[in-house]
Amino acid sequence: MIGVISDSHGDLAAFDAAYELLREKGARRFLFAGGRYTDLDAWILERREKARGGREYSDMDFLADVTQWLSSKDALPRPPAFGEAPGDFSAEEDRRLVLERFSRVPERDCLQYMDPNIPRKMLDMVGDALCCLVYDKNDLTRDDLLNATVFIHGKESEPNVVQIGPRYFLTPGRLAGAAEQTCGLIEKADRNLRFTAFRLDGKVVLEPRELQLGRGTKLSVK
């Protein structure tokens, strides 16, 4: 299962609540569509501070992190693809382990959007579907639309699934700046995919929608 988060805009408490909710529902991979790209880094640092009981990051902490990295860098596992499920990790997950489980893309008004080394869109297979992760669906090109089947994006106030011909556009809604804070979950359903959206209290706000891959030729808005 894959958790989908977007538009946190600095609300790290909402980011954390969405992460924990989706983990409880079985997510082991996470897609962050942006809406502030650096929120992922800030959230990881905040969790590490909480794990240390709120004390400052000391020289000893730094040395311990470097030692751990040096001892494991020759045996780092390949970061899993969108649909892969890596093994569980403990409550003391470190930055490297968390980042291996996240894929993210930048929004247009952040510095990372202009960095040629940071992709604005990410493509990967989820089951039998080629999926494209992007913050703003208006950034999609003709080639993107021809090649991918499922488009996961942010910048929307409510979770939704839109089918246009054989392609699907899905969004988890927003963690900040909307009437309800929501996130989404993608799961495999035989050869298809299923998308559900939740409020942060766990209430379903978008009933499970099955994405019929390889089918459909008409415009259908759900």
pTM reported for the whole predicted model: 0.79
Residue 43 clears pLDDT 70, i.e. is over it: yes
CATH of the domain at 82: 3.60.21.10
Q: What is the pLDDT of residue 80?
A: 46
Q: Which two tokens stand for residue 183?
A: 């996130």
Q: CA angle, 185 as apex, 15 and 219 as ends, to 5°?
A: 120
Q: Which two tokens stand for residue 222?
A: 């759900």
Q: Is 151 left (phi over 0), alpha (psi -120 to 50) or beta?
A: beta
What rounded mean pLDDT belongs to the chain?
Answer: 83
User: What's the rounded Cα separation, in Å, for the pair 152 and 162?
Assistant: 11
User: What's the rounded Cα separation, in Å, for the pair 132 and 151?
Assistant: 5
Structural domain that includes position 188: 2-221
Residue 172 clears pLDDT 80, i.e. is over it: yes
Number of domains within the chain: 1
Residue 221 clears pLDDT 70, i.e. is over it: no
Q: What is the pLDDT of residues 55-99, one digit of tens each?
A: 665 666 666 666 665 565 444 444 445 544 444 444 445 566 677
Q: What is the pLDDT of residues 199-213, one digit of tens each?
A: 999 999 999 999 998
User: What's the rounded Cα separation, in Å, for the pair 150 and 157?
Assistant: 19
- If one compares 149 and 52, the residue with the highest pLDDT of the two is 149
Neighbours of 5 (CB within 10 A): 30
Residue 52 clears pLDDT 50, i.e. is over it: yes
Handedness of CA 60, 65, 68, 70 (dihedral sign): negative
pLDDT band at 48 (very low <50, low <70, confident <90, very high): confident
Q: What is the pLDDT of residues 23-37, one digit of tens each?
A: 999 998 999 999 999
